[in-house]
Structure 1
Amino acid sequence: MSCRRILASVEAGALLLMVAFLLFVCVPQRRAAPAGAEVTEFPGFHGEFPSKHYAGYITVGHEQQKRHIYYYLATSERNPTLDPVVIWINGGPACSGFSAFLHSIGPFKIEDSQVHVKDDPRVTVNPYSWTKMASLLLIDSPAGVGYSYAENEDDNITNDTSRVVDLYDFLSKWFADEYTEFQSNPFYIAGCSYSGVIVPVLAQEILKRNEEFDTIKINFKGYSLCNPAVDVDIENNAHVPYAFRMGLISDELFQSLVTSCNGKYWNNSTPSCKGNMEQFYMDQEQALEKLFDTKLFREKLHAKETEVSGTWKRCPKYIQYTRDILTLTEYHLNVTSKGYRVFLYSGDHSLLVPFSATMEWLKTLNYKETEKWHPWFVENQIAGYSVRYGSNILFATIKGAGHVPSDYLPFEAFVAYQRWIDGAASL
């Protein structure tokens, strides 16, 4: 080999070493989850996990008011390196994330057919888990719910605004300090029911903080909500006409309500209306407590002992929660006007937040319909109806489903969500 060729070879090798060094120094390194965070056993489940699971705590607040938020991460069964990370914000307004985890969207599901009620609950694999398309992050929020806890009893008094502050604090630390390997993955927020109050506000907070120079940039792409609380007047006022349309109340009661309430069924102080409304409004909780409140499985799930975090309750009564954000229109507009993806879906048999209320509220956004109301199909059967609006908003009903569609029709709800998050042209 000539001297010139040897010199060129040495120079090329040195250049490669220099490039590798600069990449190591300048580019954030993806690393594994925190030491000791992996979960290898789950209460009531016997078998191999479908993917890697992790759990632990993120501390939020300040030195005098520390709150310890518990999380559980089930990574994607498909491709955790590239698939989205979805955080589930539970409704309630103050209920554990494990509620959705075991009843609808998580990799495990409580078996319905127990031989004896007193038997220990059994858990099996959920064939319609969202972990088949995304990494699922569940949290117990606010502090005091589930395994989460606060160091001061004052924190048992909370509201929507405080909760959003804690959720952003949680996410920024989770991505920046504990799970940096997921920073580049698409990030979505999801929830049902009361979380409709929290999700768009949290989305706006993420976008606002992403614009700041010295904060972690969360790779936010959009959010989804089922039967969401969006406007306290619209959703509560829709109960009576929806119930009548569905044949749930008699003609006589409906006519009495129409006459006495004059179209305003919620928050009406007229005595005759109140009397008729009182007539209108005339578990698996223990199974969950048996699963999550044992000393053994607190250790397996990396949760603090009872003496620290308190007795496990799905929706503890001692949390004094106030709804201080009554309408969400402004927040939805702030996020959707920037083109972020939104999927709203409703079980068409939900009385708590009727699909008709969501559709009525959607009209107030004044976005043009880009795809008219039409049926969508699963295995050649009508699974519901769908309409698309400008600014990346998709709305769909799931035919025959109740308040949390995944609880009632898990396959159809799974298909709808997968088509949306994978970016299908239509449902």
Structure 2
Amino acid sequence: MASFLPLMLVLVLIVLLSGVKSDQESDRIWQLPGQPANVDFSQYSGYVTVDPRHGRALFYWLVEAVPSAGPDNAPLVLWLNGGPGCSSIAYGASEEIGPFRIQADGHNLYLNPHSWNTVANLLFLESPAGVGFSYSNTSLDLYTAGDVRTATDAYAFLENWFERFPKYKYREFYIAGESYAGHYIPQLAQFIYRRNKGVQNPSINLKGFMVGNAVTDDYHDYIGTFEYWWTHGLISDATYHNLRSTCMQDSSEHPSIECVKNLNIASAEEGNIDPYSIYTRPCNNTAALMRGINGRYPWMSRAYDPCTERHAKIYYNLPEVQRALHANATGIKYDWDTCSNIVGTYWADSPRSILPIYQELIAAGQRIWVFSGDTDAVVPVTATRYSIDALKLPTLVNWHPWYDNGKVGGWSQIYKGLSFVTVTGAGHEVPLHRPRQALILFRHFLKNKPMPQ
């Protein structure tokens, strides 16, 4: 009898492990439609249920590191886009840090030479439910999403995902993203940190996070944004002063009528520009783009395609693409889209400031880097600087330029507990506009080394 029990335990273990293996293999992406040849890294995608009672399930896409990066030892990085209500597949994976870009025909892919999977394993998550392929069987969930549920669901996702991919347990784990993920990321990091407290060897081995052009603190974000618009000649003196007098006490999610009125005036004064990248053309004239309009403006980067969202909407609605990704298995009654208007419009809860979380996680010794593209007028560099300044952190290394091949790539300042980096010429999506410099930034973040001088 004594020898029979260990044998039974071994059999149970084998069954459990084979179940994990089969779950992984059922999520494996064998080949994406239009995928280029010679792809040498593994990919997985599928669903993880985070609330069985409501039927909420979040869609993920794992892109493992290239062989030269040593995927079995490279860190795992969770990437989140913001909105709220926007897809990390549409933005992070497809036009920023992922291995593939979508051709203008919306049917074919090409390799991104500056993909972050050259140094790390990348996990993209469409969050919360209702965003992209993520769904809920309880339709009310789409109208009641907010910061708290987004964090708790993301944590539930991670717990379940690590069970499906146990080789990533205890691996160095980081979270990165941008924009309204300036709320998601610190909140999720705080959730993980508090759950890990007192645990000797936590399976979610969080080491830190990095956020770019991040919504951080409503008061300081407003000050910095209005100042950026005014100092860059986008709005009039009168509108600048009116914005400061009518919006400063408001929440960014619930501005007053007078504030909205002045924000609309500001938008009219700014005109037909891309506020996410004020010195590049907006995507509003396909014919002009086909003629190569940027040839008339040699200072505009030819590498930047302002219509990448259009390409994504075509590609991810192709039935063969959804089959390859194991996506839309339940037959969602609406098309995949880059952002969910329902989720974003009905956002339920949003604290005015994330700075108290920064203070807690800085004290806990988490690695925190904040970066900013300096041509973004939506969450501009001035807003981020005001928010960081409000933390009143001691400076360890004063403001200084960093370099890429002898050229200034941006500027940096290192505080006690936080590093701040700007990327010159980059808009709201830094890796879209300055992919090479963004990869340099990411490499230095992972090593926790100052930017090159």
Find the partner of 1:293 among 306, 314, 317.
Answer: 317
Q: Look up the match of 1:15.
A: none
Find the partner of 1:340 among 353, 366, 370.
Answer: 366
Q: Look up the match of 1:307.
A: 331
Q: Look up the match of 1:81.
A: 72
C-alpha distance in 2, partners of 1:229/1:172? 26
What percentage of aligned pairs have identical amino acids?
Answer: 28
Partners of 2:213 and 2:380 within 8 A in 1: yes
How big is the shift at 1:261?
4.9
How big is the shift at 1:145?
1.3
Find the partner of 2:421 among 391, 396, 421.
Answer: 396
Q: Look up the match of 1:6.
A: none
Find the partner of 1:43 among 21, 33, 58.
Answer: 33
Q: Which amino acid in structure 1 is aligned with residue 129 of structure 2?
A: A
- Residue 209 (structure 2) pairs with residue 185 (structure 1): no
C-alpha distance in 1, partners of 2:218/2:33? 38
Partners of 2:225 and 2:382 within 8 A in 1: no
Find the partner of 2:97 among 105, 112, 115.
Answer: 105
Find the partner of 2:122 among 136, 143, 148.
Answer: 136
Partners of 1:130 and 1:136 within 8 A in 2: yes
- Residue 157 (structure 2) pairs with residue 170 (structure 1): yes
SS in 2 for 1:322: coil
How big is the shift at 1:29?
8.7
SS in 1 for 2:124: strand
**Which structure 2 residue ranges, 5 or more long, are not aligned?**
1-9, 269-306
Q: Look up the match of 2:85.
A: 94
How big is the shift at 1:259?
4.8
C-alpha distance in 2, partners of 1:87/1:146? 17
How big is the shift at 1:216?
5.7
- 1:77-102 per-residue CA deviation (whole Å, 9 max, x = no partner) reads 11111111000111111111112211
Partners of 1:81 and 1:185 within 8 A in 2: no
C-alpha distance in 1, partners of 2:397/2:382? 18
Q: Which amino acid in structure 2 is aligned with residue 50 of structure 1?
A: D
How big is the shift at 1:270?
9.0
Partners of 1:148 and 1:309 within 8 A in 2: no
Q: Which amino acid in structure 1 is aligned with residue 357 of structure 2?
A: Y
Q: Residues 268-417 of structure 1: matches in 2 within 5 Å? A: 276-282=262-268, 283-305=307-329, 307-308=331-332, 310-319=334-343, 320-391=346-417, 393-417=418-442
Greater alpha carbon shift after TM alignment, 230-239 vs 308-317: 308-317
How big is the shift at 1:309?
6.7
Greater alpha carbon shift after TM alignment, 382-391 vs 314-323: 314-323
Partners of 2:45 and 2:62 within 8 A in 1: yes
Q: Look up the match of 1:210.
A: 196
- Residue 42 (structure 2) pairs with residue 55 (structure 1): no
TM-score by length of 1: 0.84
SS in 2 for 1:39: coil
Partners of 2:395 and 2:416 within 8 A in 1: yes
How big is the shift at 1:48?
2.7
Partners of 1:161 and 1:325 within 8 A in 2: no
Q: Which amino acid in structure 2 is aligned with residue 154 of structure 1?
A: L
Partners of 1:261 and 1:270 within 8 A in 2: no
Partners of 1:369 and 1:390 within 8 A in 2: yes
How big is the shift at 1:264?
5.3
Q: Residues 192-231 of structure 1: matches in 2 within 5 Å? A: 192-211=178-197, 217-231=203-217
- 1:176-200 per-residue CA deviation (whole Å, 9 max, x = no partner) reads x201001121000011000001111
TM-score by length of 2: 0.80
Q: Residues 211 and 270 (structure 1 numbering): CA distance in 2 closer, same or farther, change over 3 Å?
A: closer
Q: Which amino acid in structure 2 is aligned with residue 247 of structure 1?
A: G
Q: Which amino acid in structure 2 is aligned with residue 348 of structure 1?
A: D
Q: How many residues align?
A: 389
C-alpha distance in 2, partners of 1:168/1:237? 33
Partners of 1:237 and 1:265 within 8 A in 2: no
How big is the shift at 1:123?
1.4
Q: Residues 211 and 29 (structure 1 numbering): CA distance in 2 closer, same or farther, change over 3 Å?
A: farther
